[in-house]
Structure 1
Amino acid sequence: MLVFTAGTAALQLLRLKFPAPDGHNLNAFLSSTAGKEAFSGNGGRLALVVTMLLFNTVLGEKLLFRNLLLPRMRGASGRADWTVNGILAGLHHPHEPWSIPSSLVGRTLLYAYPTRRFRSAWLGIIVHSASGAFVSALPLVLVLR
């Protein structure tokens, strides 16, 4: 599990994605005056962000792609089921086309493969949630100021 979590962190550091358009970069927003004002002392807003991340990670992506689709893909895709599943999940982000290259790598190698290998959606949930925890930690610093 640590290997896949470290892989997720390395993928974030490598930034295998195109630059996000103005207004869609979380780091730039949190560094701006507006971002600092939005989260400064606002625990309710942070709770909303954490809830959104949990619902997206656990209910949305992991239970749909890994728990529902992946076990059923063996018949159609054979041993490449985890690869096809990761590609589908990676392409499931058309609202963020700049992140698709990173999504394809991460969702295939770091989420779908360990889920198939260890036959548990929990591994993918934990690895993906680790990156969500990091994203939640950024605004937490501003809330606690």
Structure 2
Amino acid sequence: MGRRCRVSVAVERDDLPHQDGEAPRRFRWAGVSKGPLRPLALPHDTGRDHHADLLFASLATVPIHCGTLSDGRGIGALDAALGNGYGLLLWRRGDDHRDCAEFHAGAAELVRTAGTAANLLERVRLLRVAQDDPAHAWARGLAVLYDPPLGHSLF
């Protein structure tokens, strides 16, 4: 009775609650609007289903995917994010994945230091202006999904 031990529970994706409707989107949008933002890497090379990671993440989480959305893994990551109410996420366009660790590190730092969704969008804009700067090479091909719930906007 006095012992403590770590318990892990494995669940199948079908056993997780399905997020339906606008409520999750409004809650998550409020989270990213207020901040502080938290990055969540969705690596493309693990074959992992990210549904549970996204479901249980903080409301201020911004998913980050290094990879094109044109393949099955990219579409799966996007579907999982949208299905869990995310209206703000970052990914990398293009098929060059040799430096995904660098991309995830740079994007995570960008998300953490931006603090809010509005600041993140402005910082992405500034990165695009400075895209030829070698210090920002990790950000080439950076794309943003910005899809606020009905009646919400940063502008």
TM-score of the pair, normalised by structure 1? 0.30
Q: Decide which structure has greater strand share.
A: 2
Q: Which has the higher contact order (CA 8 A, sep 6+)?
A: 1
Q: Decide which structure has greater helix share.
A: 1
TM-score of the pair, normalised by structure 2? 0.28
